[in-house]
Amino acid sequence: MKARGMTMVAALVAAAVATGQGKDDFMRQQAYAEMQRVSGQVDVLQTNLTELQNRVNRLEGGSGETQGLRQEIASLKAAVAELRREMQSQRGEIVKDLSDRLAKMQTPAPAPRQPKSERKVVVGPHIEYEVQSGDTLSLISQAFNTTVGRIKEMNGLKNDNLRVGQKLTLPKTK
């Protein structure tokens, strides 16, 4: 960019010399034009400075607008502080609630109560069998060479429903 500007100045000097205008006259005109440009920029800067100083004076003077803004800022700060207190309080409640829930989850559940049923009738040699997924009384009776009725009688069952993991007493086969 600088080289381009220098080339332009050289071209203007050559044109001035060609038209009979002396190099010194041309340089004076250029200096005068530059001084006017800089003077204009100084005037703009002075105007901007004056405007800024006036704004600062208005703000420092505590004009009604500024005082209103200060009050609004104070109000907003108070609201933020209140929201923070409320958030802390809610956070504490959430932590307490979660702690209570975790404590309940970690407390071992009481052993499932067996439904009241008829007393078990165990006569003779027997074995204990744990019900597996897919087992039915019919399949178990076939596997242990007994009857569904005998299994129900020995275990006090009122219906054919079984649960996985349930312990059944079965007659021992030879």
At 147 the pLDDT is 92
Q: What percent of the chain has pLDDT over 90?
A: 19
Q: pTM of the predicted model, to two decimals?
A: 0.33
Q: For residue 91, what are the domain limits?
A: 63-107
Shared domain for 98 and 135, answered yes or no, is: no
At 72 the pLDDT is 82
Shared domain for 20 and 32, answered yes or no, is: yes
Q: What is the mean pLDDT of the chain?
A: 78
Whether 113 maps to a domain, the answer reads no
Whether 1 maps to a domain, the answer reads no
Shared domain for 94 and 72, answered yes or no, is: yes
Provide CB contacts within 8 A for 167, sequence distance 6+.
Answer: 128, 129, 130, 131
Domains in the chain, number: 3
Whether 156 maps to a domain, the answer reads yes
Whether 74 maps to a domain, the answer reads yes
Shared domain for 53 and 75, answered yes or no, is: no
Shared domain for 23 and 45, answered yes or no, is: yes
For tokens 């005082």, the residue is 67
Q: What percent of the chain has pLDDT over 70?
A: 72
Whether 135 maps to a domain, the answer reads yes
The CATH number linked to 134 is 3.10.350.10
Shared domain for 69 and 39, answered yes or no, is: no
Helix orientation angle between 2-18 and 23-60, rounded to the nearest 10 degrees: 130
CA distances from 114 to 6, 90, 159 (A): 105, 42, 14
What are the tens digits of pLDDT across the range 119-171? 566 667 888 999 999 999 999 999 989 999 999 988 999 999 999 999 999 98
